[in-house]
Amino acid sequence: MEILKVEGISKHFGGVVAVEGFSMVQRDNQISGIIGPNGAGKTTVFNLITGATPVDRGRVLFMEQEITRFPAHRRADLGIARTFQNIRLFGNLTVLDNMKVAHDMKVRYTLWEEMLRLPRVRRQEKAIDEKARHFLAYLGLDSYADQKPQNLPYGIQRRLELARTLMTEPRIVLLDEPAAGLNPQEVRDLMATIRKIQEENALTIVIVEHHMELIMNICSLIHVLDFGKKIAEGEPEAIKKNEQVLQAYLGEEV
Amino acid sequence: MFYLKVLEITSLYTILVLGVYLMTGLTGLFSLGQGAFVSIGAYTAAIAYMRFGVPFPLALALAVLMGALLGFLVGIPTLRLRRDYFLLVTFGLSEMVRAGLLYLAQLTGGALGMAGMPRKVGLPLILGSIVVITFITYSLKRSRFGRDCIAIRDDELAASMVGINVYAHKMKVFIISSAITAYGGALYAFSILFIEPNIFNWLESAKLIIITFVGGLNSIAGVIAASVIYYSFGEFFRFIDVWRDVLLAVVVVLVIIFRPGGLFQGLSLLPSKLKAMRSGR
């Protein structure tokens, strides 16, 4: 099934063309990558898909439903989750609460029940607590539950952001440079983690990344962006040999 | 008797502090227009009771409804704005309400204000209200509502990306805050027994914000403690006049430098937390 379909989306910031006529089709249960030089518009593509920035032109379809004009929180509720290039955790919430917040849109108790802390609230809070602890343990983060995120090592913060996306009950997860700032061992762990959560949760994953080893290893399809336009699309082996791609990366070994 | 009066006034203001706690403390929205809601609450209750013969409990409920309604109407255009603009708009709002009260003299008594309300509000009602409001605030803080507030305060974009409807949530916060503040205003009218358009100017609103910060953004108990200390201190030290405010300013600067998390950071009234504090966690 085509879970995500992007049709010719464009975004201009003043005179700057961030993304121009970008299209992609994402099949269910697969891992794809988006690569390209710095400033090619990769993160903007994520922002347009998630609704962080409105599109100028083009359409975004999620599970055959047009979501181009949906506000960001509704897209999250439908099952689009993401991480950020520069980690964006909630600094004043504990690790556990960072997880819970991502599940709050699914909570069913009302504001009135919450004010009086009725049994239904307590019951559901307990369930959320268990779910959050479950996913923390799932990614080996359970020992950090009561800490504040800024006190954690960088690699752990990245992992927490990944865990947080799982709390939203996503269908598709967009990872924005998940390997940035990680050491080689951590990158290997990350690859294993991404594969694991993809397989065990039947997820679809799109990765924006500069780390070629990671992209080439775990993506079945790769889109290449340059100056906001797609210059190539294909399987890793084909992309490695693509003339235009090599030129865009000029000198960089692909 | 004097002490009881001090306690009463202190408690009245503490309700107003609790009114901004969810909004300013948890969500990071700053309002200089709390005076508008105090006035709306006070005047709604007083006018309903004095001019239309509405029974007192119903007049209180009307005041709360009017406060919530005003919060909703003001929130529609302003809560999508950047926070600094929100601050300015609420500042303008309090001036507008003040002008409106002066202008509608037939109903409100204009600059002369309104007097002659019977003394319907005593210490038990005020303290009872504080307990109820604290309970509600605390319940909200420790479940979904409070988490979402803090997430929005920390990072609005990330909050919307994990499915929080930022605008709707701010609206709920603002309405609850407005309702509590209007309720405080209504109690004020039937406790102090005299109201006029200047009962609560923007400087008083600023003090609410300062008290919230000094008490500690994440601690309801700390904020209540700071409020009680500040307002009772204010009554006891009336003789040093403007120096009160100088002293307050010094305390604020010291707190911000040495205890950025607030004077009573980590203070909690829960038995379990107290135990944890004693055992040095």
A116/B148 Cβ within 8 A: no
Taken as a whole, chain A contains a residue count of: 254
Contacts of B136 in chain A (CB under 8 A): 115-116
The reply to whether residue B147 touches residue A104, judged by beta carbons under 8 angstroms, is yes
Q: Say whether pLDDT at B129 is over 60.
A: yes
- The C-alpha atoms of residue A248 and residue B256 are separated, in whole angstroms, by 51
The CA distance from A114 to the nearest CA of chain B, in Å, is: 6
- B281 pLDDT above the threshold of 50: no
Q: Considering only alpha carbons, which residue of chain B is nearest residue A48?
A: B161
Which pLDDT band holds residue B270 (cuts at 50, 70, 90)? low
Contact assignment for A77 to B218 by CB distance below 8 Å: no
Number of domains present in the structure of chain B? 1
Model confidence band, residue A251 (pLDDT cutoffs 50, 70, 90): low
Helix (H) or strand (E) run with residue B195 in it: strand B194-195
Distance from A249 to chain B by nearest Cα, in Å?
Answer: 31
CA distance B39 to chain A (A): 25
Is the Cβ pair B165, A71 closer than 8 Å? yes
What confidence tier does B62 reach under pLDDT thresholds 50, 70, 90?
very high
Mutate to test the interface with A, among B137, B148, B161 (most CBs of A within 10 A): B161
The single-letter code of the amino acid at A127 is A
User: Nearest CA of chain B to the CA of A139: how many Å?
Assistant: 19
| Contact across the interface for B163 and A77, Cβ inside 8 Å | yes
Kindly identify which residue of chain A lies nearest to residue B133, measuring between CA atoms. A115
Q: Write down the pLDDT at residue B161.
A: 96
Taking CB atoms and an 8 Å cut-off, how many pairs form between chains A and B? 91
Nearest to A104 among B160, B163, B217 (CB): B163
Q: Give me the percent of chain A exceeding a pLDDT of 90.
A: 85
- The band of B267, judged by pLDDT with boundaries at 50, 70 and 90, is low
In angstroms, the Cα distances linking B83 to A210, B87, B214 are 36, 6, 20
Whether B248 is in a domain gets the answer: no
The residue with greater pLDDT, A217 or B252, is A217
> What's the domain range around B143?
2-201
C-beta atoms of B162 and A100 within 8 A: no
Taking CA–CA distances from A78, the nearest residue in chain B reads B163
**CB-based contacts of B170: which residues, under 8 Å, 6+ apart?**
B27, B29, B75, B79, B152
- Mean pLDDT in residue range B176-196: 95
Element (H, E) at A36: none
Note whether residue B214 is domain-resident.
no
Segments making up each domain of chain A, as ranges = 1-79+204-254
Domain annotation covers residue B115: yes
Q: Which CATH architecture has domain A1-79+204-254?
A: 3-Layer(aba) Sandwich (3.40)
| Chain A residue with the nearest C-alpha to that of B152 | A90
Please compute the mean of the pLDDT values over residues A163-191 and round it to a whole number. Answer: 94
Determine the distance in angstroms separating the CA of A80 from the nearest CA of chain B, rounded to an integer.
9
pTM: 0.91
Chain B contact probe: residue of A83, A87, A90 with most B CBs at under 10 A: A90
Provide the pLDDT for residue B269.
Answer: 55
Q: How confident is the model at residue B252 (pLDDT cuts 50, 70, 90)?
A: confident
Our CA-based measurement puts residue B8 at a distance from the nearest CA of chain A, in whole angstroms, of 26
Query: Residue A140 to residues A126, A130, A156, A193: CA-CA distances in angstroms?
Result: 21, 15, 9, 10
Mean pLDDT of B216-226: 87
Interface predicted TM-score of the whole assembly (ipTM), two decimals: 0.92
Phi, psi dihedral angles at A66 (to 5 degrees): -75, 125
pLDDT of A12 strictly over 50:
yes
Nearest CA in chain B to A52: B157
**Closest chain B residue to the Cα of A94, Cα to Cα:** B147
Closest listed residue to residue B30, CA positions, set B66, B73, B79, B76: B79
CB atoms within 10 A of CB B42: 29
Q: Is residue B249 part of a domain?
A: no
Query: Binning pLDDT at 50, 70 and 90, where does residue B266 land?
Result: low
CB spacing of A168 vs B147 below 8 angstroms:
no
φ and ψ at residue A2, rounded to 5 degrees: -85, 105
Point out the residue among B140, B147, B217 whose CB comes nearest to the CB of A93: B147
Residue contact A81–B161, C-beta within 8 A: yes
Question: What does each C-alpha distance from A186 to A84, A89, A181, A208, A220 come to in angstroms?
Answer: 17, 19, 9, 17, 22
Across the interface, of B147, B164, B217, the residue whose CB is closest to A97 is B147
B164 to chain A: closest CA residue: A73
> For all residues of chain A together, what is the average pLDDT?
93
Instruction: Render B208-234 in DSSP notation, one character per residue.
Output: HHHHHHHH-TT-HHHHHHHHHHHHHHH
- B222 vs B233: which has the higher pLDDT: B222
Say whether pLDDT at B245 is over 50: yes
Contact present, B13 and B227 (Cβ < 8 Å): yes
Distance from CA of B75 to the nearest CA of A (A): 18
Chain B contact set for A121 (CB, 8 A): 139, 143
What is the pLDDT confidence band of residue B280, given thresholds at 50, 70 and 90? very low
**pLDDT tens digits, residue range A64-118?**
999 999 999 999 999 999 999 999 999 999 999 999 999 999 998 999 999 999 9
Question: Rounded to 5 degrees, what angle do the CA atoms B68, B71, B76 make?
Answer: 130
Q: Name the maximum alpha-carbon separation found in chain A.
A: 65
Can you give the pLDDT at residue A252? 55
pLDDT band, residue A248 (cuts 50/70/90)? confident
pLDDT at A214 over 60: yes
The pLDDT-based confidence of B1 (bands split at 50, 70, 90) is confident
Average pLDDT on B65-77 reads 96
Q: Are the Cβ atoms of A104 and B148 closer than 8 angstroms?
A: yes
> What pLDDT shows up at residue B268?
59
Write out chain B residues lying below 8 Å of A93, CB-based.
Answer: 147, 150-151, 154
pLDDT value at residue A171: 95
What six digits make up the tokens of A36? 């390209």
Contact between A252 and A239 under an 8 Å Cβ cutoff? The reply is no
Contact between B30 and B86 (Cβ < 8 Å): yes
Q: What is the pLDDT of residue B149?
A: 96
What local confidence, expressed as pLDDT, does residue A249 receive? 75
- Chain B residue closest in CA terms to A76: B163
pLDDT, tens digit, 9 for 90 and up, residues B194-206: 999 988 888 889 8
The overall average pLDDT reported for chain B is 89
Instruction: Establish if B106 belongs to a structural domain.
Output: yes
